[in-house]
Chain A
Amino acid sequence: MPKPLGKIRPHFTQNEQLLFELSRPGKTGYQLPELDVPDVDAAEALGAGNVREAIEDFPEVSEVEVIRHFTRLSTWNYGIDLGLFPLGSCTMKYNPRINEAVARIAGLAWAHPYQPESLSQGAMEIMAVLEHHLGDIFGMDEVTLQPAAGAHGEYTGIMLVRAYLESQGNPRKKVLCPDSAHGTNPATAMIAGYQVETLKSNGQGMIDPAVLAAAVNEDVAAMMITNPNTVGVFEENIVQIAGILHAKGAQVYMDGANLNALVGVARPGDFGVDVLHSNLHKTFSTPHGGGGPGAGAVGVKSHLAPFLPGPRLKKTDGQWTWNHDLPQSIGRVRAYYGNFGVLVRALAYIMAHGGPGLKTATIDALLNANYIRARLKDYFQIAYDAPSMHECVFEDTKQEKQGARTGDIAKRLIDYGFHPYTVSFPMIVHGAMMIEPTETEPKAELDAFCDAMIAIAKEVEAEPEMVKHAPHLTRTSRVDEVSAARKPVVRWKP
């Protein structure tokens, strides 16, 4: 279908070439001071065989070309700064710029991880305060900030479970995951050396205590539970579920991807969780940056604390030190101490809100999700009747009759100026549309989104073919992902 509208491709800003294509021999954009020491002959210092020729095809561009290149490319992106980004389970909330500013304060940004502890007290204090606040939010006894992202936190958590069970005499063989789990859960259990057993959810998208009871035995090390789960529903039997697992000596791992629904309202540590990770780049507002960096803080109950990765912070005579004497520790999961710059941003977020503000944010997130659910429920089929928490999940059964699926509706949403919701996940929902608005959206933005969704629902009835070929108004029309995978081209070549 030809584009009815769309940006004019011949314009420079819409046709920026790759750096390698912009490159011209001899062009430069850098400045270095003159050497204040004698130069040395590289071939002599390193051995002639160790010195490379010029880096073939490496870019040669001027400074203004660099800034234009990346600025033009940036305009081909969508971000939270442009509007609602309702990806379910991703918690795309506003990223306050004060967090960026404080992370760049020289004494923090230029702190070297091996500088003396006496000259690192500020950095260590920041980490200690964040550990305390997160421990209180999680309801956990201790917190490690070392993991670099959510999946890395999961990995750390499952290794902690293994170490603990080993100390009890048997590391056990299996980890249970509900069929609604994030893909990282089974992938993590596998690389941590466990077999994965998938449990079927019940008719409400929740863990079925009877199915669980039948599956739990002395071989089960842990169950990985997301709560609220990936259909945005609080596992109402969570206390009973934890009881079933604990009775057989298994641990309860919580994937905290959806923690934004709970902060200040309910604590995982109070409903039976032994260990959880939290994605600081979701709940605590550090920017996603097009895919990272994140931070995956892990909280544990005291019985798992001796196994935490080292080093650990310790206060002696009013001074922070790094304690490396941790005989039962699982060891390091990352060099140095974690994604410190991300931790600074997360603490700034927590301080800006304060305890009462964090709770208000949670309630606003619940309200926004429930408002969207209420406005859309007559146009899209809600996946489960159970009350929604911070996100609502619809299925595309009504639209599928016209041949338009969740992915098509998502692409059409782009034409209305919104980033799509999470498409086709969780897999237990037929054609899932998973919508998480977060607390930082004004009502006008939510209404504009709901109006767009309703308009698309009507378009699906009236002109489904148009929806199936969306987007129509973007610089780039629908991208052929199938061909990309068939014959992968993952680098530029002359």
Chain B
Amino acid sequence: MLEACGLSDLSELYAHLPASALLDRALDIPKGLSEYEITDYFTAQAAKNADGYASFLGAGVYSHYRPVLCDVVVSRGEFLTSYTPYQAEIAQGTLTTIFEFQTMVCQLTGMEVANASMYDGSTAVPEAAMMALRITGRSSFLAAANLHPEYRQVLDTAARNAQLHVESFGYDPKTGRIDLADLEAKLNGGIACVILQSPNFFGVVEDVKAAADLAHKHGALLVMVFSEAVSLGLLEPPRDADIVVGEFQSFAISPSYGGPFAGIIATREKYIRQIPGRLAGETKDADGNRAFCLTLSTREQHIRREKATSNICTNQALIALMATVFMSVYGKQGLRELAQQNLAKAHYLAAGLNTRFNGPFFNEFVVTPKSRTPEEANAALLEKKIIGGLPLGKFFPELKDSLLLCATEMSKRADMDVVKEVLL
């Protein structure tokens, strides 16, 4: 091969690089390992993590059962090792599944169009805010104080760099729901959108319609955020929202220490040209057969460059496929039954505990233990191989005596009974 290239030594392949750019030593990385040694290393690291613990953590990342078919499908090399489906003729598999994903996102959220995925729920929030800015021509945002705090931090980072303003509106200390009066007081003609989460960070289901009515009265859009997708199996979809963003981690995506997950963004048809990211659309091939392709790419960075709706390129395609398989396996009946089981388990867990808020909740709630601090309670649970809830003081100083607990279909009654005893 060297000869065909007209070269005599491999080093000639990079001999034209400036001498000062060349690395004059070996990399400080040990020599290569065999498959067995690599497995051994990662198994050892995994053993240093919590293994064999029951967990009642939620807060945006949920432990749901993963049907076996999900990994079977995403492990197929034709999906796993393919690229973004720009060459539609040999990417109909990926394109068809994206089209199905987009459709199911619409069916679940009550929206009219959805894209092929965002990085995750947190990064989808500023994308929705920027969409609202383009639609309304306004540049301030109102975000609920009970939005996932890390989603809010991501929004703040983006807003600060774009020199945009984000203000909080409060929550009702009794119900845990947003304070509609505070929202109304803070709305004005400069607000592009109101951002709220339901179920919110405390697990409480919001009155999305009331918030949407207030936002619309002032010409602002309503952005509805969700982090627990299973809730959509049972909860009324946010039909009054203008943009819905959320996290599909609950749909067969393992917690994996926080990623990779799959975010979604859905909206009304009239805003389709403002949506960021990839969209698959239906068309025909030269023989008149149904076919799919990426479409409306004039919104995107590779065509529009600095005038694009977003800089997003790589998304979470394979993770979205995993979620698509999950939705197909559970289907219309299964997703509802799954949601119903989550509701039942969480209400069993909450019964008798000192819950902080009285608003309706799905599978998460805030509890204030009467006899111990959250940290003491969690320490007591760890001794019983149970990871308790998330102490809230880190994000909400006013709730430093409380923790956020989550139960899913995977929570066992015996473990819940132990938690109830410790948190009383």
Contacts and interface: CB of A to CB of B under 8 A. Distances in A.
A491 B295 CA distance: 12
Given A81-B78, A340-B257, A414-B89, A98 B39 contact: yes
Contact of A333 (B114, B117, B157, B387): B157
B145 interface: no
Given A32-B341, A234-B17, A352 B80 contact: no
B331 A61 contact: yes
A74 B315 CA distance: 19
Interface residues of A, number: 193
Contacts of A79: 77-82
B185 to A, nearest CB: 25
B214 interface: no
Interface stretch (A191-199, A211-219, A451-459): A191-199
B255 A113 contact: yes
B102 A352 contact: no
B255 A344 contact: no
Interface in A13-51: 16, 18-20, 23, 26-30, 32-33, 35-40, 42, 45-47, 49-51
A30 B255 contact: no
Given A18-B96, A58-B327, A289-B79, A469 B33 contact: no
Interface in B318-345: 318-319, 321, 325, 327-338, 340-341, 343-345
Interface stretch (A181-189, A297-305, A395-403): A181-189
A289 B317 contact: yes
A467 B317 CA distance: 31
B317 A38 contact: no
Contact of A102 (B38, B74, B286, B413): B38
B257 A149 contact: no
A331 B280 CA distance: 33
B222 interface: no
For chain B, which range describes its interface: under 10, 10 to 19, 20 to 34, or 35 or more residues?
35 or more
Contacts of B325: 66, 70
Contacts of B153: 331-332
B220 interface: no
A472 B416 CA distance: 61
Interface string A47-90: 10111101111111101001101110111111111100101001
A119 B47 CA distance: 9
Given A281-B314, A366-B14, A478-B286, A115 B78 contact: no
B122 interface: yes
B23 A264 contact: yes
A193 B83 contact: no
B235 A29 contact: no
Nearest to A359: B27
B240 interface: no
B13 A366 contact: yes
B27 A358 contact: yes
B55 to A, nearest CB: 6
Contact of B345 (A37, A189, A334): A37
A107 B22 contact: no
B245 to A, nearest CB: 13
A336 B284 contact: no
B49 interface: yes
A380 B44 CA distance: 52
A55 B332 contact: yes
Given A54-B336, A107-B46, A292-B319, A238 B29 contact: no
B355 interface: no
**Most chain A CB neighbours (cut-off 10 Å) among B10, B163, B303:** B10
Interface in B116-151: 116-117, 119-123, 130, 148, 150-151
Interface stretch (B63-71, B189-197, B366-374): B63-71
Contact of A122 (B29, B47, B74, B416): B47
Interface in B34-62: 35, 37-39, 41-51, 53, 55, 57, 59-61
A271 B2 contact: no
A435 interface: no
B285 A480 contact: yes
A159 B17 CA distance: 30
Contact of A58 (B51, B315, B335): B335
Contacts of A336: 61, 150, 257-259
A470 to B, nearest CB: 9
Given A81-B81, A270-B23, A371-B4, A112 B255 contact: yes
B91 interface: yes
A266 B317 contact: no
Given A18-B100, A159-B161, A491-B106, A137 B27 contact: yes
B284 A292 contact: no
Interface in B86-127: 86-94, 96-97, 99-100, 102-104, 106-108, 112-114, 116-117, 119-123
Contacts of B293: 479-481, 484
A136 B27 contact: yes
Contacts of A26: 333
Interface in A164-191: 182-184, 186-191
A488 B272 contact: yes
Interface string A119-137: 1111101100000110011
A289 B89 contact: no
Nearest to B416: A37
A71 B76 contact: yes
A419 B78 CA distance: 12
Interface string B405-424: 00001001100100000000
B281 to A, nearest CB: 4
A41 to B, nearest CB: 9
B31 interface: yes
30 contacts: A30-B67, A35-B345, A46-B235, A55-B336, A63-B69, A77-B93, A79-B82, A95-B81, A107-B48, A119-B49, A150-B313, A159-B161, A186-B306, A263-B27, A290-B79, A293-B119, A293-B318, A340-B260, A352-B32, A352-B38, A354-B31, A355-B30, A359-B26, A363-B13, A366-B14, A477-B289, A480-B291, A484-B282, A484-B293, A491-B106
Interface in A447-494: 469, 471, 474-481, 483-485, 488-492
Interface string A286-318: 011111111100000000000001000000000
A477 B92 CA distance: 11
A251 interface: no
Contacts of B99: 18, 490-492
